[in-house]
Amino acid sequence: MEIRALTSSEVEAMWTINEQGLPGTGQVSVDELAVLMSLSNLSLGAYVEGELLGFVICLPPDTTYGSLNYAWFNKRYDAFVYVDRIAVLTARRNEGVGSALYRRVAAFAEERGVPVAAEVNLTPPNPGSMRFHQRFGFEEVGVLDHGNKSVTMFLRS
């Protein structure tokens, strides 16, 4: 598996993968994914024989991104790498794709001496993602309630 930087030409494939991850990934349009990539300080894809199997998009603090979850971290922390979304093709889950991407995110954050910030749906529940983040050493730092949806806020130092 090859992990490399994403390019804007891959936004349509990313959107397809993102849609397979709903509701855990959060629904966005192709244009919104392109904007996220433009704000990102780390956007990586996992590939086998040129096929995009999964991706991660991370943001630094203080961008113009309007997410309430992202704003929660901005209000509380000066420095972090925010995992806005990580998604893997349904057919390629449980093959280590997400783990390979997260190892690169962790290395990126460690090089900069900053924590990794992420959130996982509490309502509706996403137990697989909860286990995944806990396995990667994330610790719960809060809960943000959006009414019909709530998320557990995680930080990995």
d(CA 52, CA 16): 10
Q: Kindly report, residue by residue over 62-117, the tens digit of the pLDDT.
A: 999 999 999 999 999 999 999 999 999 988 888 899 999 999 999 999 999 999 99
HEC sequence for the chain? CEEEECCHHHHHHHHHHHHHCCCCCCCCCHHHHHHHHHHCCEEEEEEECCEEEEEEEEECCCCCCCCHHHHHHHHHCCCCEEEEEEEECHHHCCCCHHHHHHHHHHHHHHHHCCCEEEEEEEECCCHHHHHHHHHCCCEEEEEEECCCCEEEEEEEC
Question: Domains of the chain (ranges plus CATH)?
Answer: 2-114 (3.40.630.30)
Smallest Cα–Cα separation from 108: which of 57, 50, 64, 62?
Answer: 57
pLDDT grade for 24, boundaries at 50, 70 and 90: low
Q: Kindly report, residue by residue over 33-43, the tens digit of the pLDDT.
A: 999 999 999 99
Q: Which residues is 81 bridged to in the sheet? A: 116
* Token pair listed for 155: 């930080």
